[in-house]
Amino acid sequence: MGKMIIGRYLPGNSIIHQLDPRCKFIATFIFVAIVFLANNWLTYLILSIFVLVAVAFSQVSLGFFIRGIRPMIFLILFTVALQVLFTPGGQPFWQWWIFSLSNLSIKNGIFIFMRFLLIILISTLLTITTTPLQMSDAVGAILKPLKVVHFPVEEVALMLSIALQFIPLLSDETTKIMNAQRARGVDFGDGNLFQQLKAIVPILIPLFVSSFNIAYDLSIAMESRGYQSSSHRSKYRQLHWQGADSLVILLFIVLTILLIIFRS
């Protein structure tokens, strides 16, 4: 849990760090949408090169990203296994009961793995180069037109900011609880799958209690500072859209056009 980097901010002075958070949010959502346009080796190669270049511009080592992905690798491989074993069609190599393995299922499994990996990398790039407060401001600015229909823009932005800050906080809290349980003789890697799942129960209860205590302390702190969601709040941090932000959005538009052209 302590190795997870999603939701953590890594201070820096790179080009990606200096981009407007609205630009990074919009670019991330565009990427998540267009990644489903890729359906062959060439389009996935284009996306991979694009993401690797973005990671290089962030001045954060690729190994740092890979270490952060490791805690989620089991979930990714489980999803890929389902795709490989239950995809019909293609030339079968092996088949038993409802399970089958073919050239089409293997190719789809690799594509699903690449899709997961690219989305996680680009999402992680957003969180480690943007502070939670910047994300909150960006969401509020992007959703501002919805105020016309009385959509609670400030509340949504605040919830997003709190949720992003809770991810590393709960991750660190889980690590502390697991270390305390290990000190009491609990072995989380011993036994079969059912026994390992049963060993997680002593973690969940104190984690829930700790989460509620943190949320309660946060609410008291906000009330003591006079927070009111309904009142108009001024902004100390002002967002500034620059030429580099427009260039990044243009690059994503070009990437979308390339995927449409080269998809089979």
Q: What does each C-alpha distance from 137 to 43, 194, 233, 251 come to in angstroms?
A: 34, 44, 12, 24
d(CA 180, CA 172): 13
On whether residue 240 sits in a domain, the answer given is: yes
Q: Which of 69-78, 123-132, 161-170, 223-232 has the highest mean pLDDT?
A: 123-132
Q: What are phi and psi of 21, to 5 degrees?
A: -60, -30
Report whether pLDDT(76) > 90: no
Overall size of the chain counted in residues: 264
Q: What is the pTM of this model?
A: 0.73
H helices within 148-242, ranges in order? Answer: 153-183, 193-224
What is the tens place of the pLDDT at every residue in 148-188? 887 888 788 778 778 777 777 787 788 888 888 778 777 76
Helix (H, G, I), strand (E, B) or coil at 99: strand
Q: How many domains does the chain have?
A: 1
Of the candidate ranges 64-73, 132-141, 218-227, the one whose mean pLDDT is the lowest: 64-73
On whether residue 229 sits in a domain, the answer given is: yes
Instruction: Give the containing element (helix H, strand E) for 94.
Output: strand 92-96
On whether residue 255 sits in a domain, the answer given is: yes
On whether residue 5 sits in a domain, the answer given is: no
On whether residue 7 sits in a domain, the answer given is: no
Mean pLDDT taken over the chain: 81
On whether residue 1 sits in a domain, the answer given is: no
d(CA 159, CA 76): 27
d(CA 4, CA 166): 13
**Cα 56 from chain centre:** 18
d(CA 147, CA 102): 51
Q: In the chain, what percentage of residues exceed pLDDT 90?
A: 17
Q: What are phi and psi of 92, to 5 degrees?
A: -75, 135
Report whether pLDDT(59) > 80: yes
Q: What does each C-alpha distance from 45 to 106, 146, 150 come to in angstroms?
A: 17, 37, 43
On whether residue 131 sits in a domain, the answer given is: yes
User: Domain range holding 32?
Assistant: 15-262
**Cα 26 from chain centre:** 14
CB 100 within 8 A of CB 92: yes
CB 201 within 8 A of CB 222: no
